[in-house]
Every structure is written in structure tokens, then in C-alpha cells.
A = this chain, B = another copy of it.
Amino acid sequence: MKKINTVAIIGVGLIGGAFGMALRKQKLAGRVIGIGRNEKKLKNAVKLGALTEYSLDYWILGEADLVFLATPVVHIEEMLTKIGPYLKAGALVTDGGSTKENIVSAANKYLPLYTYFVGSHPIAGSEKSGVQFSEAGLFNGAVCAVTPDKLTNKIALSKIRNLWKKLGANVVTLSPAEHDKILAATSHLPHFVAAAMEVSVISKNKNLLSLIGKGFKDTTRIAASSPEVWAEIALANKKNVCKSMKEFIRQTIKLEKAIKRGRSKDIVMILKEAKVKREQL
């Protein structure tokens, strides 16, 4: 892969910071410029080795061969309506957002025809946020979804796929619609379930707090994620998220009814199906 002269990262948090660190570690980019509003955070990102420099001014985008949008999802949409005039001809643009239909559609609508957008979603986030948790190996072994649609340029697609592979990710290519449908179930649903469980269970009972085991802790780890980020994701992928939640609620009610009625065989059947499916992962 040819070295990229200048990369611009908008939103230097956990994912944006790790992207910069990984590019630099692998010597895949010359300049890595962070763009944002919080100078202190950007300075810190330079210090941590995620960036070679930073700017508070979007004009610098005109120098970028590759632009990576790594802010929360709603902000990525907003960015896409604004950055068009700054981009240079031939610029490659991608993102790290957790929803893809809304983002790819905004890119198609607002970016100039002489730039190339390819949606990506590296599945490497955690309940932590901020560049202080970034590391160059974050994408190593992680899955990265790349989501072309019929307007996506084939060469740009191939470049973005190769880039993620170079950063160590296992690339899965699928449409924005399929991505959002699947992620609603495999990623968004578990977050909202973990949150509902925390809210329904935890009280100030001292004995309760001391009787929390590993099972509960694992199941609710992601309930510590950023409320604002996940509210945005829920709304950006509303239709699919609600569908997944409804199906999950249906299965939970079914199991609760089997328990209430003392139907041992029905309970075992549901738990067995779950065990078989879990062991396939």
C-alpha cells in the first residue's frame, strides 16, 4: 500500500486516536492532522502520539488525501453537510460511525462529486471513551464493517478495505441497510438490555451490592457506556433497534411465562437453544 501523504481525523477520541496511532506505527501516513474544537484534548492527542499536528480550522482539510470522521454518529452526519467545500479533488473520506444508512446517505447527498466516500465501522469501541484509552493495536483482530452502496467508487472501496486490513482488522463488506439491521441486534440491543437490567436491579440494599457476581458484571459492563452517544445511535437506527428490542422482549416474556407456569421442559428447551447458539460464536 502506498503511503498516504496527509490524513485528517475529525474527532480524536478512542477510535480517532487509535486510527492515528495505528497509521503512524505502521508508517502508512506522513502527516496526521487532528481537527476539533477542544485544543487541550488535541494537544494531548499529539503528546500521546496519535497525531503529528492539530488544527482548530477546517480549512486544513484542503490538504488531506484521506479524511476520517470519528465523532459520535449524529455529529458525523452534521460534519458531512459542512466539510464538502473544504475538501480537495480526489480526497478519500471515511468514518467510524456505529450506524451506516444515515451516514452513507448524508455523504451521498452533501459531498462533492470529485471526492470519494466509503462508510466504515470498526467494531472496536468499548465502554471507555477518550484518546487516553486509544492504542495502536485497537483494530488488531477486530472486525471492521465496510459498507458500499451502488454509488460507491470501486477503487475507493478497495483502498479503504486495504487500509483497514493493514491496520489489522478483519474486513466484512455489506450494504449500509444490512449493517444497520445486524448491528441493531448484535451491538445496539445488548447496550439497551444492559441498561434496562442495571436500572431494574440495582438498589441501595447493601447486601444486594455485595452479592453481585461475575455474571451480572459481565452482562452489564456496557451499561457504563456514554448515554449521549448511545441515545444518538438509538435514534439514528430507530427502526431496526425497536424491531430487535421487540423481538427480544417477546422471547423474554415467553421464558418468563414458562417459568411462571412451572413448565420445566419449555424452560430447558429455550435455554438449550440459547446454549447451542452461544457456543457457535
Q: Give the B-binding residues of A (Cβ under 8 A).
A: 123-126, 143, 145, 170, 172, 174, 178-179, 182-183, 185-187, 189-202, 205, 207-228, 230-232, 234-235, 238, 241-242, 244-256, 259-260, 262, 264, 267-268, 270-275, 277-281
Residues of B within 8 A of A221 (CB): 215, 218-219, 278
Take A189-B201, A235-B267, A274-B199 as given contacts and tell me if A143 and B262 are in contact as well, using a CB distance cutoff of 8 Å: no
Are B256 and A252 within 8 A (Cβ)?
no
Take A215-B191, A223-B278, A244-B200 as given contacts and tell me if A238 and B262 are in contact as well, using a CB distance cutoff of 8 Å: yes
Are A208 and B192 within 8 A (Cβ)?
no
Q: What is the chain B residue whose CB lies nearest that of A262?
A: B235
Q: Specify the main secondary structure of chain A where it touches its partner.
A: helix
Kindly identify which residue among B195, B210, B249, B275 contacts A253, using a CB–CB cutoff of 8 Å: B249
Q: Smallest distance from the beta carbon of A273 to chain B beta carbons, Å?
A: 5
- Given A196-B251, A196-B254, 18 other A-B residues pairs in contact with their CB atoms under 8 A: A170-B210, A182-B211, A187-B215, A190-B219, A193-B193, A194-B274, A196-B274, A200-B244, A200-B251, A209-B280, A221-B278, A223-B274, A234-B267, A235-B262, A238-B262, A246-B256, A249-B256, A252-B252
Are A187 and B199 within 8 A (Cβ)?
no
Which residue, of A187, A190, A245, has the highest number of chain B Cβ atoms within 10 A?
A190
Are B201 and A197 within 8 A (Cβ)?
no
Are A211 and B186 within 8 A (Cβ)?
yes
Kindly identify which residue among B201, B225, B232, B244 contacts A244, using a CB–CB cutoff of 8 Å: B201
